[in-house]
Amino acid sequence: MSLTADDSRFVWHPFTPMQAYAAEAAPVIVAGEGFDLVDESGQRYLDGVSSLWCNVHGHRVPEIDRAISGQLGRIAHSTLLGLGSDPSIELARQLVERTPAGLDHVFYSDSGSTAVEAALKIAWQFQRQSGTGGAGRDLFVGLSGAYHGDTIGSVSLGQIDLFHSVYGPLLFDTMTLPAPVAFRHPDGFTDQEWLDRCQAEMERVVRDNHERIAAVVIEPLVQGAAGILVHPEGYLRRLRELTRELGLLLIADEVAVAFGRTGTLFACEHEEVTPDLLCLAKGLTGGYLPLAATLATGPVFEAFLGEPHQGRTFFHGHTYTGNALGCAAALASLDLFETNAVLENVGEVANRLEKGLADLVDHPHVGEIRQRGAMVGIELVADRDGNLPFPAERRTGHLVTLAARRRGVVIRPLGDVVVLMPAPAMPPVSVDRLVEVARESIEEATAG
């Protein structure tokens, strides 16, 4: 008996219009091997989005499998509330050694949303315990188009109306900086003039409100769910300089961009930035298990120290904080970055993507190709003159997904932005196939 009917009947899928999904009979994945997914009929699909941007080394990786199995032979989970565990300690040490200098303490959670949520609460409590601003610092600042997860705090910083507008009454107020991207901008500006305006507005908003700001939150270099929006060089560095000058906390949400996606292990490395709080998840375990980390600098951590009766403790946590199996997978994944030269491979992946997509630059229905490292967003338009979008009901991006699926490749768009997100360790020959199928599928989906 096929699993498809029971899938539609019993499983409520995330970010999925279930009425349309039920009518499409999507593949049910039952196995994986290398960089392929295998459905119940035995059909293989190249995993073109790294199982939602988290897979790093492929599926059924022997080294990670052995690490999890070995840990399972000792203990699967024990609490970090009042106890330690060896894999969580070793992983924390290795993260501190690998992340930008100054991030010295690791707080574990279980997803990107919870990593950001923890960072927001840490920043809020820090301001009330550090003596630098007190209760007056009650404002978080983010970027337009931001996506930081789906918990209430992270949604409050989110700026994607399709995802977030319905929850408005549940959210706290935030302040928004214009994202420094020029694909669509107000009339009267050249692209460079608009980028300059975004930079100037960042300076103005942060300076004018610095006495109220608890933290500024940014997805470094690339805003993922907004459509792979790539920031200009130097924007992140200038934001760090400004927040440091004004004594403000900077939170870097690297959930989507860390672990090789942009070409370095962490995106902040490109501009030699150390944030006050760094959020990690997705690729942390190589895409195997849900585990997240929020790293903090010494000064942030020290604001929470004191005698128990003083109430300076960070009263926040999760049942599966620092889960031993997840930490074991993460340690094995970090080892593979070195033994398999994964970051060097990302450079070749990026080159293959850029060269392979060059033929689409002048396509009549491609408004822009945005790329940073192994992250690609291809914006589809009905008309390049003014970058007129396709009607939403046409679901052009989804049509590309269906066309690629028929060709044995899994991709997932963001609206009408076709996202290619090969695993950092994907062999270049497989990247070539991903690009070829993407080109063919875009041609098919935009025809007529």
Question: H or E element: which one contains 97?
Answer: helix 86-98
**Do residues 41 and 19 both lie within one domain?**
yes
- Calpha distance 49→421 (Å, rounded): 4
The answer to whether residues 101 and 166 belong to one domain is: yes
Q: Is the pLDDT of residue 200 over 70?
A: yes
Over range 429-441, report the average pLDDT: 98
Q: To which H or E segment does residue 229 belong?
A: strand 229-230
Identify which of 259, 430, 443 has the alpha carbon closest to the alpha carbon of residue 353: 430
pLDDT at 25 (0 to 100): 86
Q: Give the integer Cα–Cα distance in Å for 325 and 68.
A: 6
> Which residue range is the domain that position 360 belongs to?
4-57+341-446
pLDDT category at 132 given cuts 50, 70, 90 is low
Supply the pLDDT for residue 179: 96
- List pLDDT tens digits, range 83-114: 999 999 999 999 999 999 999 999 999 999 99
**Domain C-terminal end among 317, 339, 361:** 339
**Residue 31 structure tokens:** 């196995």
Enumerate the H helices of 277-389 as residue ranges: 298-302, 324-339, 342-357
Q: What is the mean pLDDT of residues 231-242?
A: 98
Of the residues 339, 359, 393, the one at which a domain ends: 339
- Same domain (yes/no): 12, 53: yes
Is pLDDT above 80 for 29? yes
Average the pLDDT over 54-61 and give the result.
98
CATH number at residue 231: 3.40.640.10
The bridge status of strand 292-297 relative to strand 103-109 is antiparallel
Question: In the predicted model, what is the mean pLDDT of residues 381-388?
Answer: 94
Measure CA of the first residue to CA of the last residue in the chain; give whole Å.
38
Instruction: Please report which confidence band the pLDDT of residue 161 belongs to, taking 50, 70 and 90 as the band edges.
Output: confident
Whether the predicted pLDDT of 133 surpasses 80: no
pLDDT tier, 159 (very low <50, low <70, confident <90, very high otherwise): confident
- Give mean pLDDT, residues 174-178: 96
Pair 391, 402 in one domain: yes
Give the separation between CA 128 and CA 134, rounded to whole angstroms. Answer: 4
My answer on whether 275 and 140 are in the same domain is: yes
* Whether 53 and 154 share a structural domain: no
In this structure, the answer to whether residues 227 and 359 fall within a common structural domain is no
Tokens for 426? 């994907």
Predicted pLDDT at 381 = 97
Per residue in 240-261, pLDDT tens? Answer: 999 999 999 999 999 999 999 9
Average pLDDT over residues 327-339: 98
Tokens 């440091």 identify what position? 244
Statement to judge: residues 16 and 111 lie in one domain = no
Q: ∠ at Cα 122 (117, 123), nearest 5°? A: 100
The proportion of the chain whose per-residue pLDDT surpasses 90, expressed as a percent, equals 93
Please check whether residue 291 is in contact with residue 285, taking contact to mean a CB–CB distance below 8 angstroms. yes
Same domain, 52 and 75: no
pLDDT score, position 21 = 93
pTM of the model: 0.97
How far apart, in whole angstroms, are the C-alpha atoms of residue 52 and residue 414? 11
Q: How far apart are CA 407 and CA 252, in angstroms?
A: 37
CA angle at 254 for the pair 336 and 331, rounded to the nearest 5°: 25
Number of Cβ atoms within 10 Å of the Cβ of 344: 11
Does the pLDDT of residue 162 top 90, yes or no?
no
> Where a domain ends, among 290, 316, 339?
339
Return the higher-pLDDT residue of 379 and 168: 379
CATH number for position 372? 3.90.1150.10
Question: What would the pLDDT profile of 72-81 be if each residue is shown by its tens digit?
Answer: 999 999 999 9
pLDDT tier at 1, thresholds 50, 70, 90: low
Please tell me the total count of domains within the chain: 2
For residues 209 and 295, state if they share a domain: yes
Look at residue 320 and tell me whether its pLDDT is greater than 70. Answer: yes
Q: At what angle do helices 62-72 and 324-339 cross, to 10 degrees?
A: 150
The reply to whether 36 and 75 lie within a common domain is: no
Asked whether the CA dihedral 302, 308, 313, 316 is positive or negative, the reply is positive
Other Cβ atoms closer than 10 A to 271: 17
What secondary structure letter does DSSP report for 268?
G
As a whole number of Å, the CA-based R_g of the chain is 22
116 in Cβ contact with 255 (< 8 Å) = yes
Burial 349-361, CB ≥16 within 10 A → b, else e:
bbebbeebbeebe
- Strands 175-177 and 139-143 turn out to be parallel
Q: CB under 8 Å to 106, separation ≥6 — which residues?
A: 91, 92, 95, 96, 293, 294, 295
- Same domain, residue pair 243 and 148: yes
